[in-house]
């Protein structure tokens, strides 16, 4: 059965068009199950339409329709379960459609094709003989339907695209912003899937390959130079990874061996990189899997140099939204910044090099658009809304006008909110609230005006490690930390110690685990490698000399001993520095992130050991709800507004006593989330830079006494929607609805 299933799915995926893929599906399924008819109905509005059939009348395809719940096929859709009948025409729900000519069919088996609790279509097999399909046949059809979801979704999206109605896709915001431009598909790369070809002698093939490697290396240098003027050297160091790979002696030896075996240069490159890519794609770590795209990109570039020595694509003449199945850092560098309006990547995530670059360059970017028919979108106008996470293709002019009004209104509001930052951040009855900013790049810290922020509440030091091809030295780290500490003047800068593992492993430090989010990550990893921890905290404290605004934050703490060990190492680093510098240094403040639920119950014991606490609302929510927020199958279950999260935050606020407490997750930057946090008693919030003005406006237009009734209601809420609605109703009553209505 497995082989047959794979064959059908592969042939459906390999079809040249949507129509052919659906026709291939019903033809292959009919043959595999040895039935007289196989048909595919797709959801169309509130009902179903016959999209393909091998056995029913050809003229009915695309025309025969069933309303929601109508007929046995409609009943399958409504019940969302298979139906197996020996004699369908005798069933009370049978609906005769004269145009489909199915009077001779008796046996009937149908199963829904479902994606995330939504029925996309119904797959039906029929036979002239009146009989019950057996268990094996039913299991085969149900299993096949479950395998068809990716192809069916893409077919459905492309079919809808052909209509005149504008199309929307939802996606993950990798870099915030808005763009309106035509879609440009990234220059196609040569496939690594090539037919093996014998070479014309190992020396000749290696010479061709060596020239291609050198040309690719020069290309990488040029691309890196193009970006280096626009951002800090740390970010352009992404291209050093490509240079490092090209010069890697292991890769060079593998390529040379292939030439010695008599293969052509193209075959050697394809075979070598296919092997490398497969190894990375098989890794469980999310970050390492994304590095496979870098390897694939490099292999395709070398093939391109072999096929078209010295040639490069022409840059666009007007701003575009760059789209690709996997956007890579080199693709971004090929388009001049002035012509790059936005980025859309079908695959990939927020930790990819392209996403890091997009944020550094302030380019709106959406990642993870499942089922996107890229070829059908090439050259079409689109609105990329990386505020609400949407891509709108070929919008009507009225929609464009409305969108630009929205964009203008949003810009005006944000400008008004920004102007308000010059005012003290306190409520109308004088309660002070400290708003800080999250940062992960040196440039982000340098762009802040210390007069308008309370400091940096979370500096993600792992970003510095992620853009290197080796562990950064103490000197490299010191320079990076010093620039941020100096940029903030006397405002505090909270630097989190290296937090890798989970969805953030390093390409040069692979971590292979079955369940990385519950594994070797954060403080657990760095305490197992005290040499890494000591270098980092020493670099931090050395950078702090002369500024004295450093605070160190420990991630993923779940027991007291982790804090005790960390403080010993931090103190050891301080004493070593005092000896090196021959001067006395003040101890820095040390805090703990509350993100592992166990830490909530240890707060009374942790309080004497640390100087402050910071809630990581993203991970705390993830661990409380047992939901991986990066897993598309369950991401819709991830919510900061879950009643359990609200109860946990309320408990934290009580248990920290008079210790300093802040929140540095995404929740703090959402108007509803910030309001809820303040109602629960938190007075220090850290967020992305873009949210600062909006939350500052919220603080200055409320009274602290008004928050107590909201707190009572929140703690009694039973559903996520109820929690969020309570916050919005409160803002509606107090004239602050504009804060959330355009987000």
Active-site annotation, residues: 353, 664
**Residues 23, 2: contact at Cβ < 8 Å?**
no
How far apart, in whole angstroms, are the C-alpha atoms of residue 132 and residue 88? 10
Contact assessment for residue 290 and residue 327, using Cβ atoms and an 8 Å cutoff: no
**Among 172, 183, 84, which residue's Cα sits nearest to residue 390?**
172
How far, in Å, CA of 516 to CA of 520, rounded?
7
Q: What is 209-238 written as a DSSP string?
A: HHHHHHHHHHHHHHHHHHHHTTS-HHHHTH
What is the CA 691 to chain-centroid distance, rounded?
20
Return the number of other C-beta atoms located less than 10 Å from residue 464's C-beta: 22
**Nearest-angstrom CA–CA distance, 188 and 375:** 11
Q: Label each residue of 22-86 as H, E or C.
A: HHHHHHHHHHHHCCCEEEEEEEECCEEEEEEEECCCHHHCCCCEECCCCHHHHHHHHHCCCEEEC
The 10 Å CB-count burial string (b at 16+, else e) for 591-603 is bbbbbbeebbebb
- Give the integer Cα–Cα distance in Å for 119 and 122: 8
Sheet-wide strand order for 178-185:
167-170, 390-393, 381-385, 178-185, 320-324, 340-345, 365-367, 172-175
CB of 461 closer than 8 Å to CB of 378 = no
Give the torsion sign (CA, 174, 177, 180, 181): negative
Residue 368 Ramachandran class (φ > 0 left, ψ -120 to 50 alpha, else beta) = left
């Amino acid at each position: 059965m497995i082989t047959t299933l794979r064959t059908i799915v592969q042939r459906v995926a390999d079809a040249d068009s949507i129509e052919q893929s659906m026709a291939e599906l019903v033809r292959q399924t009919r043959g595999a199950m040895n039935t007289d008819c196989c048909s595919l109905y797709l959801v169309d509005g509130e009902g179903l339409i016959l999209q393909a059939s091998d056995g029913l009348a050809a003229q009915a395809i695309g025309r025969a329709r069933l309303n929601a719940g109508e007929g046995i096929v409609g009943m399958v859709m409504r019940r969302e379960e298979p139906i197996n009948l020996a004699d369908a025409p005798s069933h009370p729900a049978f609906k005769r459609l004269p145009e489909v000519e199915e009077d001779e069919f008796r046996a009937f088996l149908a199963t829904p094709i479902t994606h995330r609790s939504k029925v996309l279509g119904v797959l039906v097999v029929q036979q002239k003989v009146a009989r019950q399909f057996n268990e094996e046949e039913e299991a085969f059809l149900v299993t096949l339907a479950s395998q068809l979801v990716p192809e069916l979704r893409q077919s459905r999206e492309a079919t809808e695209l052909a209509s005149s109605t504008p199309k929307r896709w939802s996606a993950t915001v990798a870099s915030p912003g808005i763009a309106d431009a035509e879609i440009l598909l990234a220059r196609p790369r040569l496939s690594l899937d090539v037919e093996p070809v014998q070479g014309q002698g190992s020396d000749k093939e290696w010479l061709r390959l060596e020239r291609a490697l050198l040309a690719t290396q020069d290309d990488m240098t040029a691309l890196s130079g193009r970006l280096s003027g626009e951002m800090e050297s740390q970010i352009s160091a992404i291209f050093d990874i490509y240079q490092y790979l090209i010069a890697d002696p292991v890769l060079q030896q593998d390529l040379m061996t292939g030439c010695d075996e008599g293969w052509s240069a193209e075959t050697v490159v394809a075979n070598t990189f296919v092997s490398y890519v497969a190894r990375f794609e098989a890794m469980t770590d999310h970050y390492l899997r994304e590095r496979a795209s870098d390897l694939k990109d490099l292999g395709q570039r070398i093939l391109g140099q072999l096929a078209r020595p010295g040639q490069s694509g022409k840059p666009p003449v007007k701003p575009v939204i760059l789209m690709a199945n996997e956007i890579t850092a080199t693709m971004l560098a090929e388009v001049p910044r002035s012509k790059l309006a936005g980025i859309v990547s079908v695959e990939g995530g927020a930790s990819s090099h392209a996403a890091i670059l997009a944020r550094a360059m302030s380019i709106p970017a959406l990642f993870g658009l499942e089922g996107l028919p890229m070829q059908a979108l090439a050259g079409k106008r689109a609105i990329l809304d990386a505020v609400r996470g949407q891509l709108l293709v070929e919008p009507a002019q009225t929609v464009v006008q409305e969108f630009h009004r929205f964009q203008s209104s949003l810009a005006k509001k944000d400008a008004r909110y920004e102007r308000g930052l010059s005012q003290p951040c306190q409520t109308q009855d004088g309660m002070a609230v400290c708003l800080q900013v999250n940062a992960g790049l040196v440039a982000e810290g340098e762009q802040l005006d210390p007069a308008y922020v309370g400091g940096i509440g979370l500096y993600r030091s792992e970003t510095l490690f992620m853009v290197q091809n080796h562990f950064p030295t103490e000197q490299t780290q010191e320079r990076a930390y010093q620039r941020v500490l100096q940029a903030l003047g006397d405002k505090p800068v909270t630097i989190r110690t290296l937090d890798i593992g989970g969805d953030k492993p390093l390409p040069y430090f692979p971590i292979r685990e079955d369940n990385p989010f519950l594994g070797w990550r954060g403080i657990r990893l760095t305490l197992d490698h005290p040499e890494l921890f000591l270098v980092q905290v020493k670099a931090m404290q050395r950078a702090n000399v002369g500024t004295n605004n450093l605070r160190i934050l420990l991630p993923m703490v779940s027991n007291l001993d982790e804090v005790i060990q960390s403080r010993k190492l931090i103190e050891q680093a301080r004493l070593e520095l005092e000896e090196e510098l021959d001067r006395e240094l003040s101890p820095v403040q040390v805090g703990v992130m509350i993100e592992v639920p166990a830490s909530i119950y240890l707060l009374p014991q942790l309080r004497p050991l640390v100087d402050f606490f910071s809630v990581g609302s993203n991970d705390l929510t993830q661990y409380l709800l047992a939901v991986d927020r990066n897993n598309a199958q369950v991401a819709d279950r991830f919510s900061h507004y879950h009643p359990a999260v609200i109860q946990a935050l309320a408990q934290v606020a009580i248990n920290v006593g008079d210790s300093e407490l802040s929140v540095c997750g995404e929740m703090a930057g959402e108007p509803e989330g910030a309001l809820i946090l303040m109602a629960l008693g938190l007075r220090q919030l850290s967020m992305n830079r873009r949210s600062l003005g909006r939350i500052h406006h919220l603080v200055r237009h409320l009274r602290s006494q008004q928050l107590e009734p909201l707190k009572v209601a929140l703690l009694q809420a039973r559903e996520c929607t109820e929690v969020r609605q309570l916050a919005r109703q409160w803002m509606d009553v107090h004239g602050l609805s504009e804060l959330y209505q355009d987000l």
